[in-house]
Amino acid sequence: MFRKTLHTAVAATAIMFAAGAAHAENRIALVIGQSAYRAVTPLPNPANDARAIAKLLGEAGFDVMSAADLSQSELREKVGDFAARVAEKGADTTALVFYAGHGLQIDGENFLVPVDIDPKREADIPLQAVRLNDVLNTLNSVPSKARIILLDACRNNPFPAINKTAGHGLAVVDAKVGAPGTFVSYSTSPGAEAEDGSGADSPYTAALLQAARQPGLSIEEAFKRVRLSVNQATEGRQTPWDSSSLTSQFSFFGQPGDASPQAKRTAADWRAALQGKTPEAANEMIVSDGSEEAYEAFVALFAQPPFGPQAREWLDRHRRLMAWNRAVISNSAAAYRDFLAQYPDSDLTATARKLADRTRNRPLDAVAAVAPASQPPSNVALTCPCGAPTPPQLPKKVDLPPAKRVDPDPPRRVAGKLRRPVRVYDEDDVVVVRRPPVYVEPSGPVVRGVGIGIGMGGYGGNYGRGR
């Protein structure tokens, strides 16, 4: 009896020691639940999801900041306060944001939706919502060890004025393209919509609460289990998605085990691995992996329902969203036209046509349009190689009398005063203006950094689009 008691005490001490070692670094989290939407039907589960996740993270050693039902100004303020807290904690800090509520993609950018929003048109969303780009740029403006962004925000678009023209779900975020140290997870795959769930928590949160508590399980392995659990709970209707550029190991509880990176499998490798498996077992393998190559191999081997059509739908949507990602990063009329040629009839068709019409009016595009067709583009080196033909000399300037300046819109005299006519521009004169990244100013000393650029999957100062 004494030996059994001693063994139990030693085991408990070992677990506590491992947990303490895992929490040696600073951990801070911002948990937001948006349920009480004012202009549309409230969401019942985000408030429950946020409370459950806040409790989980507190037990996992996080200093948790919780907030609920935030307006646009309050959401920006909370993000700024959170960034200031991260800066106070220091560079050896893991910063985690969990957001449950509505999320939208408009013109290829992702937005978190405050509870006070009431859009009448798509153009209202950037004015009333909060760009995911701005949140991520703000977090990246302070030194930190890792940034973990968990978005249970892919529910259906509830706004009747825009739900027929805006793209479904959220746009792609590719953490591997930008600054290292980021992990992003969606409650469902890009371009798809998540379910709020019939229980106390959403399917995504319920799966995360279970997987995260496994001691020593790396975050990558934990979210593989989340993917499979949600896929099974929703009978294939919803499959979470994530992208990681973490450079250090992380687990919610206990020391993470050795997670040596595995070589990426090709579609041929996956076909060999899936050959001879039952459809059920093969489906579990590809859902856990979540790669395009795995799904490509599966649809080639298993075409029968229910798994075959579900995998084909996932693969088609994934390829469409990746093509959309490339078009938005390029942000050119030609790129949008290429997307429309490849996908002429999708939920992104209206947006692609709109952006193609806008970008063709940019000044650089206009210059290219009037350039002489007989003059091919040249890629001239900065220094001319020896023996290269000498470029023709320009004619010398001849002194001529100065030309008289003519005002194209001469002022007219009205009631003894000169009045200059107002020039009216056509809609085609509008140029797409890309605004710089927006940082929510933290209320404390902050060291500025370069934005990691998560938006539509590309990276840069403003997460790929710089808008």
Helix (H) / strand (E) containing 93: strand 93-100
- pLDDT tens track of the chain, all 467 residues? 444 444 444 444 444 444 444 445 899 999 999 999 999 999 989 999 999 999 999 999 999 999 999 999 999 999 999 999 999 999 999 999 999 999 999 999 999 999 999 999 999 999 999 999 899 999 999 999 999 999 999 788 899 888 888 889 999 988 887 678 999 999 999 999 998 877 889 999 999 999 999 999 999 999 999 999 999 999 999 999 999 999 999 999 998 776 566 788 999 999 999 999 999 999 999 999 999 999 999 999 999 999 999 999 999 999 999 999 999 999 999 999 999 999 999 999 999 999 999 876 655 544 444 444 444 333 333 333 344 444 444 444 444 455 544 444 444 544 444 444 443 434 333 334 444 455 555 555 444 443 333 344 443 333 434 33
CA distance 407 to 402: 15
Please give the full DSSP string across 376-436, using - where no structure is assigned. Answer: ------SSPPTTPPPPPPPPPPPP-PPPPP--SS--EEETTEEEPPPPPPPGGG--PPPPP
Question: Are residues 229 and 207 in contact, defined by beta-carbon separation less than 8 angstroms?
Answer: yes
Helix (H) / strand (E) containing 96: strand 93-100
pLDDT of residue 157: 87
pLDDT of residue 156: 83
Domains of the chain: 2-244 (3.40.50.1460), 267-359 (no CATH)
Query: Which amino acid, residue 117?
Result: I
Question: Are residues 110 and 104 in contact, defined by beta-carbon separation less than 8 angstroms?
Answer: yes
Residue 159: strand, helix, or coil: coil
pLDDT of residue 7: 44
pLDDT of residue 361: 61
Judge residue 95's burial from the number of C-beta atoms within 10 Å of its C-beta, 0-12 exposed, 13-18 middle, 19 or more buried: buried
Question: Are residues 18 and 216 in contact, defined by beta-carbon separation less than 8 angstroms?
Answer: yes
* Upstream peptide bond of 306 is cis (omega within 30 degrees of 0): yes
CA distance 209 to 149: 15
Half-sphere exposure of 152 (CA within 13 A, CB side): 32
